[in-house]
Structure 1
Amino acid sequence: MTNFDWFDKLQLKTIQLVPARSEHADYIYSLRIDPLYNTHLSPPPASAEAQRAWIERYVQREQQGEEFYFVIERLDKVACGTVRLYDFRGPSFCWGSWILDHNKSRYAAIESALLVYRIGFEHLGFDESHFDVRRENRKVISFHKKMGAITTEIDDDNEYMRLPKEVFYEKQRDIIDFLGRSAD
C-alpha cells in the first residue's frame, strides 16, 4: 500500500478532506441520488451497496496513485460534500465529483478548490488541471473563471476548462487573503 503522508494535512479554516472509504458509501450515495445535488453529475450507482463496492475498487486505484476521492467535512466532522482528483494525463489532472450539501461552511467551495489544487500541484506534481463543467451549470463555470481557469472548448453539453499551476499560484494569495488566512 502506498503511503500518502500528505493525507493528514488536508485542512483549511473551515473544512478538511478525508479519504473516501466504504463507511462513507451511504452518505455519498445519498448525495448522488438527491435531485438538489445530482443535476450535473453522471448517473448514480443502483444502490448504496453498489456505491460501497465502487469505493472498495476505488481504494485500490488510490493505493496505486491513480485517483483520489475525498469526503469534505467541516472541522466538527460533519460531512458536507465530496470531491475527486482523477484522469491523470501527462502533466495534467482532472477534478470533479464536486458536491457541497446544505451542511457546507460558508467558504467550503473556495477552501475545497484550494485543497484540490494544492494536492494536484504540490503533492502530485502536476503542471495544470483540466476539467469539464455542464454548460447549464453557470455558477460553477463562473467560480472556475474567478479562480483563473480558461475555457479551451465548448460543445453542446460541456465547457472544457484548464487551470495552469502558475495562474493558480498568482490567484492563491488573493484567495487566501480573502479567507483571512496567512499563506503558510
Structure 2
Amino acid sequence: MILKSKTIQIRFVEESDAEFILKLRLDKKYNQFLSSVNSDVQAQKDWIKKYKNDELKRAQFYFIIERNDGTPCGTVRIYDLQEDSFCWGSWILNENKTRYAALESAFLVYQFGFDELGFVKSHFDVRKGNERVISFHEKMGAIKVGEDELNEYFNITKEAVVEAKNKLNARFQ
C-alpha cells in the first residue's frame, strides 16, 4: 500500500528497510526523543518479520516515508488500536525530507487512521522537551490530556484534522 501526498508518500515497511531504519534510529540528530533500539541489523529484520504478522492482523502499521522520487526520508508507525482511537509515533524525518514532509506525513497518517481504518480520533504521546513536535501537534488541533515524568499525552479528533487541513489549503491558494 502506498499513500501519496504532494511531495512525499508512505508505504509499508519491508525487511529490506532494516538498515535505513537503524541508521535513522541510531543517529543522535534524530533519536533524542525516541526509545533506544538494538543496533543489530538482523535483530531489526527479525522485528520487521514479526511486525508483518501484526500488519496482516491489522494490529499495527509501520511505514517508510519517502520523497515521491523514492528516496527514503523517514518512518512513522500506527499502533495501540483502541475502540475509536489509534496511536501513532516512531515519527522520524531525516535531512532528505521535503520542506513540508512533516505536515504531509501527518496528514497521510490521519488519512490512513481515519479513512482506511475508520477511527474518529487519535491518541499519542510526545516526550517532554520535544517542543517543536508538541507545538506542531497543538497547531494541528491536538488537545493535551495528561502527562507523566517522561511524556505529554494528546488526543486529536478527525474533525480537528479536517479543520487544520482546510485552513492550510485556504492559506496556500
* Cα distance change, pair 64–179 in 1 and its aligned pair in 2 (3 A): farther
Structure 2 unmatched runs, 5+: none
The offset of 1:25, in angstroms, is: 0.4
Aligned residue number for residue 35 of structure 1: 28
Aligned residue number for residue 83 of structure 2: 90
CA distance in 2, matches of 1:123, 1:23: 25
CA distance in 2, matches of 1:102, 1:144: 21
- DSSP-derived class of the 2:80 partner: strand
* Cα distance change, pair 103–111 in 1 and its aligned pair in 2 (3 A): same
% same residue? 49
* Cα distance change, pair 162–23 in 1 and its aligned pair in 2 (3 A): same
- DSSP-derived class of the 1:130 partner: strand
Aligned residue number for residue 64 of structure 2: 71
Letter paired with 1:76: D
Structure 1 unmatched runs, 5+: 1-6
Please, which of 19, 44, 56 is the counterpart of residue 12 of structure 2?
Answer: 19
Per-residue displacement from partner, 1:58-108 (whole Å, max 9, x unpaired)?
111001101110000001110000000000011000000000000000000
* Cα distance change, pair 45–134 in 1 and its aligned pair in 2 (3 A): same
* Cα distance change, pair 69–41 in 1 and its aligned pair in 2 (3 A): same
- DSSP-derived class of the 1:88 partner: coil
Please, which of 34, 37, 42 is the counterpart of residue 49 of structure 1?
Answer: 42
Letter paired with 2:58: G
Instruction: Calculate the TM-score normalised by the size of structure 1.
Output: 0.91
Instruction: Calculate the TM-score normalised by the size of structure 2.
Output: 0.96
* Cα distance change, pair 50–148 in 1 and its aligned pair in 2 (3 A): same
Please, which of 140, 144, 149 is the counterpart of residue 151 of structure 1?
Answer: 144
Letter paired with 1:102: E
Please, which of 158, 162, 165 is the counterpart of residue 172 of structure 1?
Answer: 165
Letter paired with 1:137: N
